[in-house]
Amino acid sequence: MFGAYIHIPFCSKRCDYCAFATWDNKGDLRDAYMEALLREVEVANAEGLPLLDTIFVGGGTPSLVPPELLAKVIQTLRINNNAEVTVECNPDNVTEELLTVYKEAGVNRISLGVQSMVPHVLQSLGREHQPENVVRAVEAIRAVGFTSFNMDLIYGAHGESVDDWVHTVETALALKPPHISAYGLTVEPGTPLADDASRYPDDDDQADKYPIVDEMLERAGLHNYEISNWAMTGHESAHNRLYWAQSNYRGFGCAAHSHENGRRWWNVRTPERYIELVREGKSVENASETLSEVQMKEERVQLAIRRREGVALSDLPHEIPDELTGLVNVVGENLVLTKEGRLLANEVTIRLL
């Protein structure tokens, strides 16, 4: 498989936990940025970019840029039949008019940044939208005819009780999404959250909340296929699977990462520098690395152990340590995490390697 990631770096407000290459004060660059993005895609096509099996437009907030400009970029990419094309959206920006433009451009999947359905938790995360906008956004998604969409949730924010988390999951499930991603809040350096230790997430609290969401989603017919992702059959994210399988992908836009057969590279970080280099006809690559066979194999273990299918026993460098009893099971020729093991996936991976 071959995929493409398109990075849109604009936000109306940066969330307190966000460490991505996004800005809330560079809206005046949107048109120039989208023009540069289109040019980068055209150059890649001319250089033989393969047909794409997946496209994911993320950020930032892609739904902040004029939909016609984003549609033009997507339509310039060459895709295989039945390719998955996803655009991330902020519930505040979703309208039937915007989604119609996306759909006509070939987009067939929407990912909503919901995070929580409790106002004071959203405030703790530094989010602007209100829960009622999520409901309105889902109604618009269905009205336009999208059959597949995802809702992103985050647990562990300061002040979020177990009852708050249950309410968020229940309210999300009431909207009958075919896919839900639920991530434990993490502290990233350089963010407002990192600067305020009083708001750091509690490991025990997150360990209590993960089994809750897992049980509720499984009961609703959404099956866990990666530690933080649940979906109805046929609605798993093909783009995420591409990453987890170490397949090749091309990143477009500032700070976007690419991978091809063990070589990784990433574009310059700021939109100003990116626009300037594209206009000058120069490479936007900032740096690169080439992984050794050993590094590729270790990464394959790290990624595969998180998936429902698990990691091939043949990829493990030695016997399974006794200390992992109860955290992993051998299923056929693969090693898979138990539910308890999912809570300690990083530690399990360290022991396996």
Residue 152, pLDDT above cutoff 90: yes
Report the pLDDT value the prediction gives residue 130, as an integer from 0 to 100: 87
* Residue of 107, 117, 115 lying closest to 56 (CA atoms): 107
CA atoms within 13 A on the CB side of 162: 9
- Contacts of residue 322, Cβ cutoff 8 Å, sequence gap at least 6: none
Report the pLDDT value the prediction gives residue 129, as an integer from 0 to 100: 81
H/E element, 169: helix 162-174
* Residue of 54, 85, 52, 50 lying closest to 71 (CA atoms): 85
Cβ(114)–Cβ(151) under 8 Å? yes
The span from the CA of 188 to the CA of 228, in Å, is 18
Report the pLDDT value the prediction gives residue 318, as an integer from 0 to 100: 85
How do beta strands 2-8 and 248-252 pair? parallel
Q: Note the pLDDT tens digit of each residue in 307-324.
A: 999 999 999 988 899 999
- Of 88-102, 118-132, 172-186, 260-274, give the lowest mean pLDDT range: 118-132
Place of tokens 């849109």: 8
The span from the CA of 147 to the CA of 157, in Å, is 31
Report the pLDDT value the prediction gives residue 111, as an integer from 0 to 100: 98
The span from the CA of 159 to the CA of 265, in Å, is 39
Report the pLDDT value the prediction gives residue 317, as an integer from 0 to 100: 85
Residue 14, pLDDT above cutoff 90: no
Report the pLDDT value the prediction gives residue 55, as an integer from 0 to 100: 98
Place of tokens 């289109």: 38
* Residue of 250, 253, 254, 224 lying closest to 237 (CA atoms): 224
Phi/psi region, residue 115 (left: phi>0; alpha: psi -120 to 50; beta: rest), is left
Report the pLDDT value the prediction gives residue 109, as an integer from 0 to 100: 98
* Model confidence band, residue 113 (pLDDT cutoffs 50, 70, 90): very high
Cβ(87)–Cβ(112) under 8 Å? no
Mean pLDDT of the chain: 96
Residue 220, pLDDT above cutoff 90: yes
Q: Give every strand in the sheet of 248-252, ordered side by side.
A: 223-226, 229-231, 179-184, 149-155, 109-115, 79-89, 52-59, 2-8, 248-252, 257-260, 263-267, 285-290
How do beta strands 179-184 and 229-231 pair? antiparallel
- Contacts of residue 47, Cβ cutoff 8 Å, sequence gap at least 6: none
Q: What's the whole-number mean pLDDT along residues 177-182? A: 98
Q: What's the whole-number mean pLDDT along residues 236-262? A: 96
Q: Note the pLDDT tens digit of each residue in 115-124.
A: 999 999 999 9
Please state, in angstroms and as integers, the Cα–Cα distance from residue 245 to each residue in 19, 47, 160, 163, 242, following that order: 25, 25, 34, 36, 5
Q: What's the whole-number mean pLDDT along residues 131-150? A: 97
Domains of the chain as residue ranges with CATH: 2-243 (3.20.20.70), 294-352 (no CATH)
Report the pLDDT value the prediction gives residue 140, as an integer from 0 to 100: 98
Q: What's the whole-number mean pLDDT along residues 251-256? A: 98
Place of tokens 């409901």: 135
Report the pLDDT value the prediction gives residue 99, as an integer from 0 to 100: 98
Residue 205, pLDDT above cutoff 90: yes
Residue 188, pLDDT above cutoff 90: yes
Residues of the chain with pLDDT > 70, as a percent, come to: 100
Report the pLDDT value the prediction gives residue 62, as an integer from 0 to 100: 96
Count the residues in the chain.
Answer: 353
Cβ(96)–Cβ(140) under 8 Å? yes
- Contacts of residue 270, Cβ cutoff 8 Å, sequence gap at least 6: 21, 254
Cβ(284)–Cβ(314) under 8 Å? no
Q: What's the whole-number mean pLDDT along residues 82-108? A: 97
H/E element, 119: helix 119-125
Q: Note the pLDDT tens digit of each residue in 47-65.
A: 999 999 999 999 999 999 9
The reported pTM is 0.95
Residue 344, pLDDT above cutoff 90: yes
* Residue of 108, 205, 209 lying closest to 149 (CA atoms): 108
